[in-house]
Amino acid sequence: MQDQAPVEDLARRAAAGDSGALDRLLAEIRPEVVRRCARFLPCREDAEEAAQDVLLQVARHLSAFEGRSRFGTWLYTVVANCCRQKYRELKRRAAEQPAAIEPALAVDPRTTSVIAGSRVDLLEALDRLEREHPHLVAPLVYRDICQLDYAEAAERAGIPLGTLKSRLHEARKQVRPWLAAP
């Protein structure tokens, strides 16, 4: 998504019901969606599955995009939510079928690469934050993971800017020790 103007235009036209624009939009954003998903999920296949979920959500719910913020902002929120959902699904599946994996093949992704490990730890921290302090998740995801500016993050979260900053500070304080733990 090098040049944002054509993507923003395609998104507006697709949201208005132009199916040709939707097809072009999905083709245009796919590489960026896969790249963004890979920032969350350490395994390429998992990231690609999550990307397919994102593209499906975009196709199904683009009419909900009102154009008040940039399409990219809306898209990265969908990416973050789909990746977190995919992680929960994979974690649940692994817990339900532990005998299906041979012990020699069961590899903890946290030990396979520093980059992969940090992403898994972050997803686990987000899961824990959601269980313990659900109101802190959106500010952290929008600002620190989706890298939205403060005003956009506050708008996406539906809270005043000051509240976003306060919740973001608290979320970081909660998550920091979980990420530092061995």
Convert the pLDDT of each residue in 72-81 to its tens digit.
Answer: 888 988 998 8
Arithmetic mean of pLDDT, 65-85? 85
CB 141 within 8 A of CB 123: no
pLDDT at 91: 79
Residues 6+ apart with CB under 8 A from 28: 1, 6, 7, 10
> What's the start-to-end Cα distance of the chain, in Å?
37
Arithmetic mean of pLDDT, 99-113? 44
Buried residues in 90-99 as b, exposed as e (16+ CB within 10 A): beeeeeeeee
Side chain identity, residue 1? M
pLDDT at 79: 92
Q: What is the pLDDT of residues 147-157, one digit of tens each?
A: 788 998 898 88
pLDDT at 77: 85
pLDDT at 110: 41
- Residue with the bigger pLDDT between 132 and 65: it is 132
Q: What is the pLDDT of residues 15-48, one digit of tens each?
A: 999 999 999 999 999 999 999 898 888 788 888 9
Asked if the model's pLDDT at residue 69 lies above 50, the reply is yes
Arithmetic mean of pLDDT, 56-71? 86
pLDDT at 103: 43
pLDDT at 4: 64
Chain mean position to CA 39: 9
pLDDT at 100: 47
Q: Which has the minimum average pLDDT: 77-81, 117-121, 128-132, 160-164?
A: 117-121
pTM of the model: 0.68
Q: Which has the minimum average pLDDT: 20-34, 94-108, 128-142, 163-177?
A: 94-108
> Can you give the C-alpha Rg of the chain in angstroms?
18
Alpha-carbon dihedral 118, 120, 121, 126, rounded to 10 degrees: 120
Asked if the model's pLDDT at residue 112 lies above 50, the reply is no
pLDDT at 167: 95
Dump strand ranges (E) for 32-156.
Answer: none
- Spatial separation of the C-alpha atoms in residues 110 and 121, rounded to whole Å: 8
